[in-house]
Amino acid sequence: GLTGLVDAQIEAARRLGIRFHPTRGSMSVGVSKGGLPPDDCTQDEETILRDCERLVKEYHDNGPYAMTRVGLAPCAPFSVSPELMKETAVLTKKWGVRMHTHLCETLDEEAYCLEKYKMRPVDFIESLGWMDGNTWLAHMVHVNDDEIRRLGTANVGIAHCPTSNLRLGSGVPPVRKYLDAGINVGLAVDGSASNDTSDMLGEARQAMLVHRTKSGVASMPARDVLRMATRGGAAVVGRDDIGQIAAGKAADLAIFDVERIDYAGSAGDPVAALLFCGASHRTKWTIVNGHVVVKEGRLVNGDEGDIVRRANTACLDLLRKAGAIA
């Protein structure tokens, strides 16, 4: 079934030692009701809301340096009802958790909202109580200047997914305008179905280069992108105890080996070199909350070979069930 998936992810994150902000996603409007997802990927809204509360009560930790915080995340305007969006907003305020959705990703989505709700996507979520500092939105590709101003005033966060937007041909969001408007922007990878590698350092490089083509070389310095990948991401999920190396912050460190041949000649600016150079983006060491979780480039708390074998087996099983392979 569709329930229990978030529980499994949380358990895996705990085994690996990852700081994790899972969101309980939801889709309730399938093809038969005029939505995008297949009907068998949807759930009834009572089940969704009940499971949202269960997950928050069971796993959410609002304390300092928390390793698990749960958010609630109706998927997108074309896969959930306005009523579910409203009820989700009520739940997040009741439990003190954050809410998330995908918005303004494609022009098709914009056309869907205009046809069905007679308003643009940003106006749509505003009408449902989603325009506040408790919200972060993925993508935000197709917006106008007035919407950018309103997003900034409302303190809404944005998760920028450059590789996914390029892979799917969605477009390039106006990230420089977001930053100039004081909007918190974090760097994100969307999901494996539209990104594949989920390589955060590669994502940072992608963001830096694609926005230079859109807004000019000076529009996206390497340090601005690294800020999005660190402090920006922390701010988007409402954290001031992570995202930077400073007294009083959580001991979260990603350490890269820049003595390799692919970094040769980049010693003048090692920070920019992380984005401009390097053929392998694996960390040498990763420390989360003071605990080493990657040592000498290998997982400490997981068998990488076993993980790869199980993932490939699951992939092939899924393809066989779908009839894509024999």
pLDDT at residue 2 in the model: 62
pLDDT average, residue stretch 90-108: 98
* Cα Rg, the chain, nearest whole Å: 20
Pairing of the two strands 71-74 and 23-26: parallel
Is residue 230 located within the same domain as residue 256?
A: no
Check which CATH number belongs to the domain holding 267 and give it.
2.30.40.10
Same domain, 134 and 3: no
pLDDT of residue 215: 87
CATH number, domain containing residue 165: 3.20.20.140
Token reading at 263: 């970094």
Domain boundary among 37, 72, 97: 97
* Residues 122, 240 within the same domain: yes
What is the pLDDT at residue 280? Answer: 80
Residue 120 lies in domain: 98-244
Domain shared by 102 and 225, yes or no: yes
Final residue of a structural domain among 97, 115, 137? 97
State how many domains the chain has: 3
- Given a cut of 60, is residue 163 above it in pLDDT? yes
Residue 1: pLDDT over 80: no
User: Are residue 104 and residue 93 in the same domain, yes or no?
Assistant: no
pLDDT in tens, 17-68: 999 999 999 999 999 999 999 999 999 999 999 999 999 999 999 999 999 9
- The residues pairing with 157 across neighbouring beta strands, listed in sequence order, are 136
From 220, 244, 268, the end of a domain falls on 244
Query: 233 and 130, same structural domain?
Result: yes
DSSP calls for 133-175? TTEEEEE--S--HHHHHHHHHHT-EEEE-HHHHHHTT-----H
Give yes or no: residues 109 and 92 share one domain.
no
